[in-house]
Amino acid sequence: MTDLSRVNEAERICFITRVQSFSACHRLHSIHLSDEENKKVYGKCNNPNGHGHNYKVEVTVRGKIDRVTGMVMNLTDLKKCIEEIIMVPMDHKNLDKDVPYFANVASTTENVAVFIWDNMVKAVPPNLLYEIKIYETDNNIVVYRGE
């Protein structure tokens, strides 16, 4: 058993999570499949007019607690990154038509998580981003850690 009072404060690791919700529509459709294959794979989610979700995203950073500030990352800075990377390009948007990344990539929640990760990792301090967790519905959740 480790005596926590003996752990060097500079070595203490903490996870910080900020939760944000956004609404967007999309159509599950792959340019690599025929129309019939798309209907078979994606079912009702391949509706030509699309469908919408109220997504909930959890952005988690992980790092050492700064001895001076007492923070892993300033939550105000994390909030600004989330606004710029998630809310501005995706909230109340059609992912397939309004987000260029999805012009050739199926807008599955898995790919939404990758899109968020790839942009968030450039915005937060190096080696801090730990996880993107997206709740597409209460029952469908995707977790991506950059692998």
Q: CB within 8 A of 23, min separation 6: which ones?
A: 52, 53, 54, 55, 91, 92
In this predicted structure, the answer to whether residue 6 has a pLDDT above a threshold of 60 is no
The 10s digit of each residue's pLDDT in 60-112 is 999 999 999 999 999 999 999 999 999 999 999 999 999 999 999 999 999 99
Pairing of β 129-135 and β 51-64: antiparallel
The 10s digit of each residue's pLDDT in 16-41 is 999 999 999 999 999 999 999 999 99
Give the sign of the dihedral formed by CA 88, CA 90, CA 91, CA 93: positive
Q: Which residue has the higher pLDDT, 8 or 94?
A: 94
**Residue 11's pLDDT is what?**
81
Is CATH 3.40.50.720 the classification given to domain 4-144? no
**Residue 28's pLDDT is what?**
97
**Residue 7's pLDDT is what?**
57
On whether the CB atoms of residues 59 and 18 are closer than 8 A, the answer is yes
Determine the angle formed by the axes of helices 109-123 and 75-82, rounding to 10 degrees: 130
Domain residue ranges of the chain, discontinuous segments joined by +: 4-144
**Whole-prediction pTM value?**
0.91
State the catalytic residues: 45, 92, 136
**Residue 8's pLDDT is what?**
66
